[in-house]
Every structure is written in structure tokens, then in C-alpha cells.
Amino acid sequence: LKNIHLLSPEQIELAKLLLETGQSHLFQHWAEPGVDDEEKKAFFDQIARLNSSYPGGLASYIKTARELLADSKAGRNPFDGFTPSVPTGEVLTFGDENFINFEEAGIREAQKAAFVLVAGGLGERLGYNGIKVALPRETTTGTCFLQHYIESILALQEASCKFTQGECQKKIPFVIMTSDDTHLRTLQLLESNSYFGMEPTQVKLLKQEKVACLDDNDASLALDPHNKYRIQTKPHGHGDVHSLLYSSGLLNSWRDAGLSWVLFFQDTNGLLFNAIPAAIGVSATKQYHVNSLAVPRKAKEAIGGITRLTHSDGRTMVINVEYNQLDPLLRATGNPDGDVNDETGYSPFPGNINQLILELGSYIEELTKTGGAIKEFVNPKYKDASKTSFKSSTRLECMMQDYPKTLPPTARVGFTVMDAWLAYAPVKNNPEDAAKVPKGNPYHSATFGEMAVYRANSLILRKAGVEVADPVLKVFNGQEVEVWPLITWQPKWALTFADVKNKVHGSCSISQRSAMAIKGRNVFVEDLSLDGAVLIDAIDDAEVKVGGSIQNKGWSIENVDYKDTSVPEELRTRGFRLNKIEQLEKNYSEPGKFCLKP
Ligand code: UGB
């Protein structure tokens, strides 16, 4: 109170709010007026931010925290009354007629989509020092994840525009959710690379704020251990994306521009865009309000399971159940073995890869009711069984895939299962943890993420009729992986299976030790026999036919130890480095028709 004359009317309101919500302890250590006055103002600046960035403000945060902490103390779980069962969804097989039809429908519809990348996480499990979207997706070309995502969206935009009569001006909007941990570095990466070819106005960064930490079951806000005039804060989770999008006003502007779909995706899945055209096609054909992408999931694998939950009162929903909750939920509901593989060798619950497609109209309708607030959870680490105090402060968290939890029963919530080799290879685990992943389960490491790109491209080419040699098994950073030929292409070369078939003709073969990187739109592979390395880079107006027998010493793959700090982090986390011994490299920078036939 002695400091009250320092405060503006708004700050007095905030002080009242804190006192009324039982937070008087925050002022107990305040110095006399005249001492630390700037710090006191900064305290209220922070409180104002915490209050305005949370739907319903701090009072609502504290109220929800008290309820969730009481539930946690009482051992009540959020699934009380619910019985899990296996839901039914659309299961696609790459390359069959159904898949091709969905891809075509998806490409038509893509110009009505907006993309949202959640990239506010630092990736503690990976232990990488930089931002994850700057990591190379593969080291054959060194293209980073963000570049690949942007090039994929641009390729979709262009392919989709072909379905529009007359000149198509449509630009697919791209939003990136960042946090204090990632914002500046994401912006720098974009600016120093001219937005990887996207118009800067097409890209919008929305920064999520952290939320206040809580010291006890009464939701007392925690002071920062290093500054008694600050609240300690931690990330609130990827669920923030919904309230941020809502408050940004973007959703209405997208609706006014005639858009229908919002696609959400995560920071390091190098295969994701293999699944996007067909998945949009499923959403459009089935008129899904919510479509989650999924892959077959090994029991206990660290990805959430898509589950139908039926309540004893009759309510039912199809929702992701996080990996640490699915097993106990099954055990508690009459499945003594918990989450186990069935005769297919996989868990019957499809794995959530956190790629969501929401129908814009119903999304706006729902967010108008909720303000984008997502059902939260709290995960305090208690000191002992009395559950009265915490080992360290906790906070509320939320996940973007929990969006359907508040939807009315009439909502059309579906999911689409794709082959894992085609659609999902995230880079989440550090080498040590990856090496401990049970045999047969995917490593989700940097090693795995890159090798999965080559494997998928090889399998796609095989399906298109190319004779691609079998892989060899190799161990990098303690992980045994299949090494396929190092094949990469730019998204504008091919987005769909139909595109690949259009670009590959005659009888082609690629040996296991080969590398092939295609940059350019109009590169056609015809009667090629490749045993070595070939790199093609062609401008759009150059039409290049690549064929004949290309043979050279090619590239080798050298092991690198992840503990060897003389090697850049991006390489040693993969456990290998490409040794580029000999290659055929051709650049076509003039318009015209060309033939590369050594
Ligand atoms: N992220 C943010 O943008 N902000 C945050 O505050 C936190 C994260 P993780 P997680 O695909 O295998 C998810 O840490 O949360 C971004 C699903 O919940 O990589 O452990 C972050 O930058 C789970 O159901 O994953 O698990 C990244 O892009 C399962 O599907 C994204 O959010 C799992 O992903 C995910 O963050 C999976």
C-alpha cells in the first residue's frame, strides 16, 4: 500500500486483481517507495502481459489452476467415467486409386488452405542448441526444415492455381507460432534467406507468451528465483496456437478471402508434405470439421493415440490421448495388459502425428465461443505422497490437438491414417535416448529423420516403376537404420504420386550407393541407369531430360560420433557425414530444352 502512489489506475486494478485472487504474497518483499521503483513498474508490465495474453485473464488462469490442482491432488483423472475404444477413420494406402483421387481433390482444394506451423518449442528432448526448423531436413542438399516447408507450400499454391480459370492470384497464408525462445532466430532465418522465395507479406509470425508458474495447491503465483519483482514463467504448450490465431484477427480475414481450411503442423517432420495433398482431399470429400493425421503406432511409442472415448452419460468423442495416459487409461478400464500390439504388430490405436486440418467456418464458430481457450492440464511433481507441496513450481499446459474436446456432438471429427514411412519422421530424440528406443520402434532422431527421407523417396520411385536397389543396414550413433540411395527432390518437382509418375519414364534403375538430387520443376528422368551421384539444378524454363548410364565414384557415408565436439552439432547428432567424392553436377540457368545423357 505504501507504494500505491507509484501506480497508474490500470496498475491499481491489476494490484486489486492479485489481492482478490489471493496473491498478496507477491508484495510481501517489496521495498519502501523510492527503492526499486523501476522494477516495481516492470512487475506490473509483466502482470499486464500475463493478464492480457490468457483468455479470461489471470483471474481465470488462477481459478482453473485451483480446480486442476485439486483434481490432481485427489487423484481424479480427466478420463474419469470414459471408456476407450478403437475409433474408425480413413485408412489410406499410398499409390492406390483411392489415394490418387484424394491427392487430386486435395490439390484442387489447397488454394483454400492456410498453413500454421507451431514452432515455439525448444525441443528439450532433442537437446539441440538452435531452433529446430533451421536443422537440415537432409544433408544431401542441406535444405533446412523451414525452407522445405515453404517450398512445399509454394508448390501447392502453384499446383492448386492450375485449377482456377484465368489468372490465379491466390497466395497461401503461412503462420508460424514462435515463443521468446525461438522468435528472433526464426525471423533471422527467414530474413537472411529472403523468406525462401515466399512473399514476406504471406508469412506471419505470432509469438506465444509463457504463463505464470504456481508454487502450491492454492495456485500461489511463483516469484522468479532471480528477481523478487518478477513472476516465474514457463511455456504453456502448443495449444496456445488457437487463442493466438483467434486474437490476431487472421481467421476472419481468411474467411473473407474465401479460405476453407487451416492446417496445423509441427517443427521437424520432413515427410509431412507427402501426406498433405491426400489429407486435404479427405477433409474436403468427407467434409470433416476436424481431421487428424495419424500413422500406425507401436504400443507405448511416445506419440499420442487417437481414441474414441465414451462417457457413462453417453457423450462420446474422438480425441488424442497422450502416450503417458493411454496405457493407464486402458488398464483402469478392463484391459489388464494396457497398451499392447495386436496381431498386426501395432497398437490398435492410431498414432497422432499432430497434423490437424480444421474447417475454417466451424473453427471460427467454436473459437467465437471459447476465445481459443483449450482444455488444460497440470502435471505437478509432488514432494511426497501427501501431495501438499511441489518439488519445483508447476504451471498449466495445453495441447493443440485437444481442440475437439469442447466441440458439440454434431461436429464431424475424423482422422486419416497414412503409412508411417510416407508421412512421419520427426526429429525429437537425442542420440542417447534414441539408442534406447526398443528395437522395431522408430527412433525419431536426427539420424532417423534424414534416412526416412531417402527411404520414402526410394519407395515412392519404386512405386512409380523405378528399379531402386534394396537398402543396407548401418549403425549410426547406436541406431540401426536402413540406408537407401540418397534421393531428394524439390517439392515443385513433385508433390503427389501423379507428379512423380509424370516425371519418370521408361526403364530406370538406381543402385544402393547412389545419390540423386533434383532441383527444378521440369526435370524428366527417362531410361536412367544411375550408379553414383548426380545433381541437377534447372530453372523453371529449362526442360531437362536425364537419362542414359551415369556412373561415377559417388558419395560415401562416414560415421561420426555424437560426442565428437569438433564436428558441427547438426552432423554429429546424425552420426554420419556425407563424403562427396565424385558426382555429375549440372546447372541449367538458360531457358530451353536440354538432354543429359552421358
Ligand atoms: N511447441 C510450441 O510451439 N509451443 C510450446 O509451448 C510447445 C511446443 P514436441 P510433444 O508428434 O510425436 C506432440 O515437444 O508436445 C511446438 C503431441 O502432443 O515436439 O511432446 C514445438 O515447437 C503428441 O500427441 O512434442 O508431443 C513442436 O513443433 C505426439 O503426437 C510441437 O509443438 C507428438 O507431438 C510439438 O512439440 C509427436
For ligand 1, is residue 210 a contact (CB within 6 Å)? no
261 C-alpha vs ligand 1 centroid, how far in Å? 21
Residue with cell 546424425: 574
**Residue 166 neighbours by CB distance under 10 Å:** 5
Find the helix packing angle between 57-73 and 9-20, rounded to 10°.
20
> Which residue has the least CA distance to atom 12 on ligand 1?
303
Atom of ligand 1 nearest to the CA of 125: 14
| Residue of 133, 205, 266 to mutate, ligand 1, most atoms within 8 A of C-beta | 266
- Percent pLDDT > 70 in the chain is 100
For ligand 1, is residue 118 a contact (CB within 6 Å)? yes
Residue 381's SS3 state is coil
238 C-alpha vs ligand 1 centroid, how far in Å? 6
**Average pLDDT score, the chain:** 95
For ligand 1, is residue 426 a contact (CB within 6 Å)? yes
Instruction: Tell me which amino acid residue 15 is.
Output: A
How confident is the model over 512-538, as a mean pLDDT?
A: 98
> Which residue has the least CA distance to atom 10 on ligand 1?
303
Atom of ligand 1 nearest to the CA of 123: 14
Tell me the three cell numbers of residue 248.
490476431
Atom of ligand 1 nearest to the CA of 265: 28
52 C-alpha vs ligand 1 centroid, how far in Å? 24
Atom of ligand 1 nearest to the CA of 119: 22
Instruction: Tell me which amino acid residue 43 is.
Output: F
Atom of ligand 1 nearest to the CA of 132: 22
Judge whether 198 and 115 are in contact, CB under 8 Å: no
The pLDDT of residue 164 is: 80
How confident is the model over 271-282, as a mean pLDDT?
A: 98
266 C-alpha vs ligand 1 centroid, how far in Å? 7
Confidence of residue 69 (pLDDT cuts 50, 70, 90): very high
Judge whether 270 and 393 are in contact, CB under 8 Å: no
Residue 169 has pLDDT above 80, yes or no: no
For ligand 1, is residue 119 a contact (CB within 6 Å)? yes
pLDDT single digits (tens) 319-337: 999 888 899 899 999 999 9
For ligand 1, is residue 347 a contact (CB within 6 Å)? no
pLDDT single digits (tens) 190-208: 999 999 999 999 999 999 9
Alpha carbon distances (Å) from 113 to 107, 162, 175, 257, 358 = 10, 15, 12, 11, 10
425 C-alpha vs ligand 1 centroid, how far in Å? 13
| Residue of 293, 354, 417 to mutate, ligand 1, most atoms within 8 A of C-beta | 354
For ligand 1, is residue 121 a contact (CB within 6 Å)? yes
Judge whether 372 and 247 are in contact, CB under 8 Å: yes
Atom of ligand 1 nearest to the CA of 399: 18
How confident is the model over 240-249, as a mean pLDDT?
A: 96
> Which residue has the least CA distance to atom 26 on ligand 1?
303
How confident is the model over 468-478, as a mean pLDDT?
A: 97
235 C-alpha vs ligand 1 centroid, how far in Å? 12
Find the helix packing angle between 145-161 and 183-191, rounded to 10°.
60
For ligand 1, is residue 47 a contact (CB within 6 Å)? no
Alpha carbon distances (Å) from 5 to 33, 47, 338 = 9, 18, 61
Confidence of residue 78 (pLDDT cuts 50, 70, 90): confident
Atom of ligand 1 nearest to the CA of 241: 3
- Percent pLDDT > 90 in the chain is 88
> Which residue has the least CA distance to atom 32 on ligand 1?
238
Instruction: Tell me which amino acid residue 32 is.
Output: E
Residue 1 has pLDDT above 70, yes or no: no
The pLDDT of residue 582 is: 98
For ligand 1, is residue 295 a contact (CB within 6 Å)? no
> Which residue has the least CA distance to atom 24 on ligand 1?
304
303 C-alpha vs ligand 1 centroid, how far in Å? 10
352 C-alpha vs ligand 1 centroid, how far in Å? 11
| Residue of 54, 238, 267 to mutate, ligand 1, most atoms within 8 A of C-beta | 238
Cα–Cα distance measured from residue 214 to residue 134, given in angstroms and rounded to the nearest whole number: 33
pLDDT single digits (tens) 106-132: 999 999 999 999 999 987 788 788 999
Q: Which residues pair with residue 558 across a beta bridge? A: 577
Cα–Cα distance measured from residue 377 to residue 84, given in angstroms and rounded to the nearest whole number: 19
Residue 544 has pLDDT above 90, yes or no: yes
Select from 251, 212, 256, 253 the least CA-distant residue to 372.
251
For ligand 1, is residue 428 a contact (CB within 6 Å)? yes
How confident is the model over 397-418, as a mean pLDDT?
A: 94
For ligand 1, is residue 235 a contact (CB within 6 Å)? yes
> Which residue has the least CA distance to atom 29 on ligand 1?
303
For ligand 1, is residue 120 a contact (CB within 6 Å)? yes
How confident is the model over 398-412, as a mean pLDDT?
A: 93
Residue with the bigger pLDDT between 187 and 597: it is: 187
The pLDDT of residue 300 is: 84
Q: What is the largest CA-CA distance in the chain?
A: 86
Residue with the bigger pLDDT between 168 and 221: it is: 221
Cα–Cα distance measured from residue 522 to residue 591, given in angstroms and rounded to the nearest whole number: 11
How confident is the model over 467-472, as a mean pLDDT?
A: 98
The pLDDT of residue 312 is: 92
Q: Count how many Cα atoms sit within 13 Å of the Cα of residue 146 in the half-sphere of its side chain.
A: 28
The pLDDT of residue 124 is: 77
For ligand 1, is residue 447 a contact (CB within 6 Å)? no
pLDDT single digits (tens) 28-56: 999 998 899 999 999 999 999 999 989 89
Tell me the three cell numbers of residue 179.
515463443
As for the ipTM of the complex, it is 0.98
How confident is the model over 560-589, as a mean pLDDT?
A: 96
